[in-house]
């Protein structure tokens, strides 16, 4: 598998564990608004994040080499479309019951 190398800025919190705060994709800066999950693998630390663009990202850090990589991206547009559809369905249902 090929992964996309990225630049990540972190916050060193309790016990010095680094948590991503923002990262850069080409010329775009993505602010981390939520760390959804984190887990360890033998060679990497993984983070599932929501960016300020509404998208979901999984990034990983190769601690031994100091390299960050993007491993997954899901556009935030899908989330917005599903929320819109849900609210439209609720509105239609309310109209049917009145």
Of residues 53 and 3, more confidence is placed in 53
| 3-41 pLDDT tens trace | 889 999 998 876 667 899 999 988 899 999 999 999 999
Q: How many CB atoms lie within 10 A of CB 45?
A: 18
The answer on pLDDT for 98 being more than 60 is: no
Closest residue by Cα to residue 58 from 87, 83, 29, 23: 23
Specify the 3-state DSSP secondary structure of 17. Answer: coil
State the pLDDT at residue 81.
Answer: 42
- Give the chain's domain count: 1
For the chain, the C-alpha Rg in angstroms (whole number) is 18
The pLDDT value given to residue 67: 94
Q: How far is CA 31 from the centre of its chain?
A: 9
Residue (of 85, 41, 81, 86) closest to 59 by Cα position: 41
Structural domain of 27: 4-97
């Amino acid at each position: 598998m090929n992964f996309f190398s990225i630049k990540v800025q972190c916050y060193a919190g309790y016990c010095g564990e680094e948590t991503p705060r923002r990262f850069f994709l080409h010329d775009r800066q993505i602010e981390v608004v939520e760390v959804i999950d984190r887990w360890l693998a033998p060679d990497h630390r993984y983070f599932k994040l929501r960016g300020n663009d509404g998208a979901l990202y999984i990034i990983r850090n190769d601690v031994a080499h100091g390299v960050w990589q993007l491993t997954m991206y899901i556009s935030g547009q899908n989330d917005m479309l599903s929320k819109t559809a849900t609210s439209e369905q609720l509105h239609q249902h309310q109209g049917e019951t009145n």
